[in-house]
Each structure stands twice: as structure tokens, then as C-alpha cells.
Structure 1
Amino acid sequence: MKINLSGHHVDVTDTVKQHVEEKFTKLASHFPTLISLNVIIAKEHGEFDVEVSTNYEGSRIAANGKDAVMYPAIASAAKKLDAALKHRKGHLKADKHAKPEVTAPEIAYEKVQEMDLR
């Protein structure tokens, strides 16, 4: 998986790159069709804002994490992206047109027949 990392008013050092790769390589094992991530780390008004976006199975998915410290902001964005990807994967796996078989009326009918209502 390719990670495009950029900073806005933030120096992107090797340590930051390594931390971002550690957080987001776990996603690559859970979602093998994930090709690339765009990560933007910005600092505005004393708060770090980490924005992560990607295209997954035909739809654009983005997540955002904010914190006063950079590393928790990265972790927050990674967690939110993981949840969004799981949600999208669930939508893709669900067969929305298959109707569940309803057995409740038949069972209820059988129960009523067994009861002595006299």
C-alpha cells in the first residue's frame, strides 16, 4: 500500500513517516484491495489535524483526527478510517435483495393449534 504523506505547517520527519506507516499498515492486512492513502497533517490554532482519504471499492472514504499532540491525532484518524472501511465492506458484502424467510406465522399457528383454548 502506498502512503502519500504531506504536512501543512508541520515538518514531516522520518519519525513521523515511520509512525504513520506503523498505524496504517495494519489496514493493508485487513483490506488487501486498498491501494493508496493520502495523509495530510496540518497544524492550525495550536491543534494538529490529520486528514486521511482513500478510494475503496469505488467510493471515496475520508477520516479526520484532531488533537493537541500529533501522534494521538494520527491514531484517532487511523481508528476512524478503519471503522469507515469496515462499514463500507459490510455494505459490499450484504445481499440487500435477499429477503429473510419468515417462520413466525407458521410457528405461531402451530402453537395455537397445540393450545387447549376451551
Structure 2
Amino acid sequence: MNLTISGHHLEVTPALREYVLTKLDRVTRHFDQVVDINVMLSVEKLKEKERRQKAEVNVRVKGKDIYCESAHEDLYAAIDQLMDKLDRQVIKHKARLQEHHHESPKRLNGAVTEAPQ
């Protein structure tokens, strides 16, 4: 699993890196077929009152790319919201992969072929 944590207008401190890693443990615990994770932390300075901290993640799993983003005034709160969203999407993807309640291709036509007697 490749992990990239980067910052835009922000220095990624060891404390931020460790916080993201502990939150990502929850996602990798649910689904172990993660190939690549890219995390982007950024600060948007619109106005002094509306200063937004934004966190984005792009997870490449077997068969799909999952993208989430979250914004909040506090970066740690944005990371928490982001990991909650990502966790729900990963669980949903895992459920789709494990669902085996589909019809077999032989029975899709509605008629079962019988052998002549």
C-alpha cells in the first residue's frame, strides 16, 4: 500500500501525519485490498472570518477509485469528517463485492432448457 500525505499552503507536521495515519487504520481494518492512498490537506484563505481547512483523499482499491473531501474551520475536524465519509464508502464497496445474490447466467432468460427424452 502506497501512502502519500501532502499539504497545499500548509506544512504537514508529524502530529498531523500521525493523526491521519491513526484515522486511516480504521479504513484499512475494514478493507485490506487498498492499493494506493493520497491525502491532500489544504488551507483556503477566503477571508479572515471564512478561513476553511480542507481535507481530500483518493483511495485506489481493487476495482474502483474512491474520492472524498471535507471542509471545516478546524483541520482535525475536517479529517474526522473525511474519514467518516471514507469509511462508509469503503464498507459500501466491500458489501457490493461480497454480495452473491445474483442469478446465474443460465436462468436469466427465464426458461430452463430441458434435455430431450
User: In the alignment, which of 97, 100, 103 is matched to residue 102 of structure 2?
Assistant: 97
Pair 1:49 & 2:54 matched: yes
TM-score (norm 1): 0.77
Residues 32-85 of structure 1, C-alpha deviations (whole Å, 9 max, x = no match): 111331000011131011000111121110111110000010011111011111
Between 88-97 and 2-11, the greater mean CA deviation after superposition: 88-97
Distance 1:84 1:53 in 2: 12
Q: Could you say which structure has the greater relative contact order, defined with CA pairs below 8 angstroms and 6 or more residues apart?
A: 2
Alignment of 1:1-118 (within 5 A): 1-44=1-44, 45=46, 46-98=51-103
Between the aligned residues of both structures, percent identity stands at 27
Contact 2:26 / 2:87 at 8 angstroms: preserved in 1?
no
Contact 1:3 / 1:21 at 8 angstroms: preserved in 2?
no
SS of 1:38's equivalent in the other structure is strand
What stretches of structure 2 of length at least 5 have no aligned partner? Answer: 105-117
Q: What value does the CA root-mean-square deviation take over the aligned residues?
A: 1.5
Structure 1 residue runs of 4 or more that deviate by more than 6 Å after TM superposition: none
TM-score (norm 2): 0.78
